[in-house]
Every structure is written in structure tokens, then in C-alpha cells.
């Protein structure tokens, strides 16, 4: 299992390197594919899709909505247009609900819209961060603040973890581990900022900004990890899928990235001169 996870991780890193360095349409296409898979995983977990049956109207509306939303994100840079599309897609879900009543329960409709926002919309902030000025550097903080945090939290928890953070939800996670994850991510952000980004962004001090972004991103990433675990517990499933050997599905591997992506995007706009290039 260890070598399976290691091999999968190497492949994921290679894909991330290729797509994030290239950016543009390639990144958008990869994120669209990941979003569609994640939506399918959430649809199964939340009872929207029934195993062995064809795609239903709610799922079809979600798939169409994801494609339309990514089209707006890629071909416009209007936040108002993105918000409008999200609202129109919510109305579209309600359209299906009303005109097929009582085929779908209200909980399924709400879960369908939640699944659309939770993964696809939040994943899109990876693309939007990459599109910012200095986005080629900023986008890596999404992964540094989530994956470095995960590793540091795990190691710290093993070494000194004593106080359970969420004993009912995730008994192995400790408060010490959580703190270690935040500190490790902040340190990694500082090192990345100092040795890599400082030389590219001459007009602004970067090291402490990236340390702050790394620490805040790490805190949010842990909420993302626990939120995905809570959904699995509620629906009594072990993994969201089996796409990535040794890791599970897209939602299992990228649960923390989903939360850090919009956070890093927002922090970049607030703390840096990082408007559209």
C-alpha cells in the first residue's frame, strides 16, 4: 500500500507540475475534468445518484452547469458574471425540482447544488489564482499550504500528539498535530517566498506575506479535510472513489485543496499587488 500511494503521489505531482506551469487552457481542461469527477463522487455520496442507474436530471443539470461555469471563468474575468451563473444554476436545479415533482426530494436538490459549489466552483479558484499577476508563483501556495500541512500535522501528531482535536470525527488527529501543520506550512511558505519569489517580485516584501498565507491556508485546509471526512461519516462510506490507487477518489485526495484554493486567491488579492496581469 505504501508504494502504491507513493507511486500515485509521484504521478499527481507530475501532473500538477505540467498543468500549473503551463496554466491557461490546459489547466482549465484538467480542472474541469477533476471537477466533473468530484461532482460525480459527491453525487453518489449524497444520494443524488443511484449506483448502477443512468445519470438523472439533477446530475445532468449539475454537469451542464459545471461546463457553463468553467466557460465563464475561462473566457471572462468578470466576478459578477460568475456569481450570476452560480445563481442561474441554482434556479435551474429548482426548475428540475418543480417540474419533476415529486420525483426528487428537497434534500437531493440542495445536495446537488451544494456538490456543484463545494467542488467545481471552489476548484476553479486554482485557475483564477494562476491567472493573477504573479499567479505562476502564488498558485503553488494552494498546494504548499494543504499538502505540507498534512505531512507536518501527521509527523507532529505521531511525535507529540496527546490532545484529540475532534475525537468523534477523526480520533487520530491531535491539537498538537494541527499546530505543527500550521507552523510547518507557514515555514514552507516563508522559505518558498524567500528563495523563489523574492527575486521575481522586487516591489514587495514577499517572505512574511507568504508565511502568513501559508499559515492561514493550513488552518483552512484542515477544516476542508475534516469537512470531507464528516460527509463520509454521515453517509457511512470509506472513500469517495477509487480513481487514485492508494488514495481513493478526487475528493479524498483534494479535500483540503478545495478549501485552500479560494482562501489563497482572496489573500493574494488582499495582501499582494496581484491583479490581472
Tell me the per-residue pLDDT of 12-43, one tens digit each, with 9 for 90 and over. 778 888 898 899 999 999 999 999 999 999 99
Q: How far is Cα 158 from Cα 160, in angstroms, rounded to an integer?
A: 6
Higher pLDDT pick, 18 / 69:
69
pLDDT at 188 over 70: yes
Report the distance separating Cα 260 and Cα 218, nearest Å: 8
pLDDT band at 212 (very low <50, low <70, confident <90, very high): very high
Q: What's the confidence (pLDDT) of residue 258?
A: 96
pLDDT at residue 200, as a whole number: 82
Give the lowest-confidence range in 1-5, 72-76, 134-138, 144-148: 1-5
Question: Taking 70 as the threshold, does the pLDDT of residue 86 lie above it?
Answer: yes
Q: What CA–CA distance (Å, rounded) separates 233 from 123?
A: 23
Q: How far is CA 88 from the centre of its chain?
A: 23
Dist CA 57 CA 92 (whole Å): 11
Residue recorded with cell 507532529: 156
Give the C-alpha separation, 206 to 214, whole Å. 12
Please give the average per-residue pLDDT across 168-181, as a whole number: 93
Phi, psi of 47 (to 5 degrees): 80, 20
Taking the CB of residue 253, how many other CB atoms lie within 10 A of it? 22
pLDDT of residue 13: 76
Residue 159 has pLDDT above 70, yes or no: yes
For residue 211, the model assigns a pLDDT of 96
Q: Which of 230, 133, 220, 139 is nearest to 178 (CA)?
A: 220
In 3D space, the residue among 54, 22, 42 whose CA is nearest the CA of residue 135 turns out to be 22
Per-residue pLDDT at 4 exceeds 70: yes
pLDDT(69) > 70: yes
- CA atoms of 227 and 164, how far apart (whole Å): 17
Share of the chain above pLDDT 90, in %: 75
Integer-rounded Cα Rg, in Å, for the chain is 19
Decide if 256 contacts 150 (C-beta within 8 A). yes
**Domain ranges for the chain:** 22-131, 134-277
Give the pTM: 0.94
pLDDT at 52: 75
Residue with cell 443512468: 54
Residue 96 contacts by C-beta under 8 Å, 6 or more apart in sequence? 57, 58, 61, 104, 109
Distance (Å, whole) CA 273 – CA 164? 40
Does residue 180 carry a pLDDT above 60? Answer: yes
Q: Residue 5: is its pLDDT beyond 90?
A: no
Residue 276 has what pLDDT?
53
pLDDT computed for residue 81 by the predictor? 96
* Average pLDDT value for the chain: 91
Residue 50: predicted pLDDT = 75
The pLDDT, as a whole number, for residue 6 is 61
Beta carbons of 239 and 249 less than 8 angstroms apart: yes
pLDDT at 196: 92
Q: How crowded is residue 50: how many other Cβ atoms within 10 Å of its Cβ?
A: 10
**Residue 175: predicted pLDDT:** 95
> Which of the four pLDDT bands, split at 50, 70 and 90, describes residue 219?
very high
Write the DSSP symbol of residue 244: B
Amino acid at each position: 500500500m505504501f508504494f502504491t500511494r507513493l507511486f500515485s503521489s509521484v504521478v499527481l505531482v507530475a501532473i500538477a507540475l505540467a498543468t500549473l506551469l503551463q496554466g491557461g487552457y490546459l489547466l482549465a481542461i484538467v480542472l474541469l475534468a477533476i471537477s466533473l469527477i468530484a461532482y460525480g463522487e459527491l453525487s453518489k455520496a449524497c444520494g443524488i445518484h443511484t449506483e448502477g442507474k443512468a445519470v438523472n436530471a439533477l446530475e445532468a443539470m449539475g454537469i451542464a452547469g459545471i461546463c457553463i461555469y468553467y466557460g465563464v471563468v475561462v473566457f471572462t474575468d468578470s466576478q459578477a458574471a460568475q456569481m450570476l451563473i452560480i445563481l442561474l444554476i441554482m434556479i435551474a436545479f429548482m426548475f428540475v425540482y418543480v417540474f419533476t415533482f415529486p420525483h426528487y426530494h428537497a434534500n437531493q436538490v440542495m445536495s446537488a447544488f451544494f456538490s456543484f459549489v463545494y467542488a467545481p466552483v471552489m476548484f476553479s479558484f486554482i485557475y483564477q489564482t494562476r491567472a493573477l499577476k504573479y499567479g505562476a508563483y502564488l498558485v503553488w501556495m494552494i498546494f504548499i499550504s494543504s499538502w505540507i500541512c498534512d505531512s507536518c500535522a501527521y509527523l507532529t501528531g505521531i511525535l507529540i500528539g496527546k490532545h484529540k482535536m475532534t475525537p468523534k470525527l477523526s480520533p487520530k488527529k491531535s491539537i498538537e498535530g494541527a499546530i505543527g501543520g500550521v507552523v510547518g506550512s507557514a515555514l514552507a511558505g516563508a522559505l518558498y517566498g524567500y528563495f523563489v519569489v523574492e527575486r521575481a517580485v522586487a516591489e514587495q516584501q514577499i517572505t512574511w506575506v507568504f508565511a502568513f498565507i501559508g499559515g492561514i491556508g493550513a488552518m483552512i485546509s484542515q477544516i476542508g479535510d475534516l469537512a470531507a471526512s464528516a460527509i463520509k461519516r454521515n453517509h457511512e462510506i470509506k472513500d469517495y472513489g477509487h480513481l487514485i490507487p492508494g488514495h481513493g477518489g478526487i475528493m479524498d485526495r483534494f479535500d483540503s485543496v478545495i478549501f485552500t484554493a479560494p482562501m489563497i486567491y482572496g489573500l493574494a488579492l488582499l495582501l499582494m499587488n496581484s491583479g490581472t496581469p
